[in-house]
Amino acid sequence: MRQEEPEPVYRELVDALADNVVPMAILCATMAAAGTYVWSIRPDPLTTAASLLCTATTFVKIVTILHHRHHRAAYRGAALDRVRWHEFVHFVTTVAVCLSIGLFSVAVYALPYPVLHLLPIAITFGYSGGLIARASVRPHIAGIAILCLIVPNMLAQMLSGEHHLFIALILMVFAAAGLQSVAFVYDTARRAVMLRLELEQLARRDPLTGLLNRLALREAFEALASGVRQPVVVHAFDLDGFKGVNDRFGHLAGDRLLALLAARIQSSIRDDTIAARIGGDEFVMVQLGDEAAAWCLARRIHDQLTRPCDVGQAEPVSVGLSLGYAVGQLPDVSLEALIQQADARSYAVKRAGGGIRGPEALVDEPAITFVPVEVLNCPV
């Protein structure tokens, strides 16, 4: 029934299980009222015990949902194994509720009061509708739960005599229809989540280069700032001679060049380094590390981006690079302040002919002065 789910989609669908507290509260109250009503007509220990069991399991399910809602932010960023465990807890509690409803149904059918026999059917199909609407985001949970609800009712009808076989057949048909509805609702929900995540991704990515845009850069920096205290570096750079490429070969060649250079940037940085395109040929990188690590990355980026590129013309094209970087301490420093410092150094080095410039403690002149890699212990 389930299709292959990308991890972000899976996380979203599991998170949707926390939106089920109101139906469970209604079910809890309904089971308590149903048990009281049956007791008022026929004080039967089995139906009373089944009613109390169902009320208790429903209450546990409500506590599970409330715990999920209270820790929702932590669950969204939790390891995948923790998310799977939480899904399993939802599965166990949901099946427990449905089995207790099934037990209550069987106990009521055993009473010699036909008017009461409508009660478990009403509860079963009422809660089945809720499962289809709310739990189909995890189809294996909803499907097994529906079977746990309907199969006891169906078996009880079959054992009640020949005249009840038709009712059992109807229950079987509705069980099959319910499973089909679960599959349909799940597929609809999965597609909706995938579309929303894709749109969110597009809203945070530069469409030409695939790098982050300004919005995503700010969000990523804020996420870093909310963590432990650590040094951070912001690199700002643009391309020297890029306008000449556009003028000589056309904007299509310029776009190809930007895409190629963005790919080189991505291959030159680690997973914890953030790269963004914030303008035409303007880029920003956010790196966790000290001044020595900043110089190593700046040197590597300069080497990679100034190599000739094949953009589909008769000859390879090359551009220069003017890069400035600023070092700060999270969470004390802001992204805007670091970009402003890095920009100022980038403009200064551009006026001097291009290259790299960081804090004066490391580079005294605006023009690039490469420090040997082995001296700074730069990672390869």
Residues 91 and 56 placed together within one structural domain of the fold: yes
Residues 195 and 223 placed together within one structural domain of the fold: no
Residues 199 and 248 placed together within one structural domain of the fold: no
Q: What is the DSSP code (8-state) at residue 357?
A: E
Domain extent at residue 331: 214-376
Residue 2 lies in a domain: no
Domain CATH for 303 = 3.30.70.270
Token match 């970087």: residue?
325
CA angle 97, 102, 107 (to 5 degrees): 125
With CA atoms as reference, report the closest residue to 238 among 351, 156, 153: 351
Residues 86 and 195 placed together within one structural domain of the fold: yes
The pLDDT tens digits of the residues spanning 269-324 come to: 988 899 999 988 999 999 998 888 899 999 999 999 999 988 887 788 889 999 99
Residues 127 and 167 placed together within one structural domain of the fold: yes
With CA atoms as reference, report the closest residue to 66 among 28, 107, 9: 28
Residues 225 and 178 placed together within one structural domain of the fold: no
Residues 135 and 255 placed together within one structural domain of the fold: no
Contact at 8 Å (CB) between 286 and 219? no
H/E segment holding residue 46:
helix 45-70
Q: What is the DSSP code (8-state) at residue 2?
A: P
Residues 255 and 196 placed together within one structural domain of the fold: no
Contact at 8 Å (CB) between 143 and 182? yes
What one-letter code names the amino acid at 177? A
Residues 12 and 141 placed together within one structural domain of the fold: yes
Domain boundary among 154, 181, 203: 203
CA 93/CA 72 separation, integer angstroms: 18
Give the three-class secondary structure for 82.
Answer: helix
Among 47-56, 308-317, 327-336, 339-348, the minimum mean pLDDT is found in 308-317
CA angle 297, 369, 317 (to 5 degrees): 70
Residue 208 lies in a domain: no
Does the structure show a pLDDT above 90 at 74? Answer: no
Number of domains in the chain: 2
- Joined together, the tokens standing for residue 357 give 């410039």
H/E segment holding residue 88:
helix 80-109
Residues 160 and 35 placed together within one structural domain of the fold: yes
Residue 167 lies in a domain: yes
Instruction: Considering only residues 370 and 199, tell me which one the structure prediction assigns the higher pLDDT.
Output: 199
Residues 194 and 106 placed together within one structural domain of the fold: yes
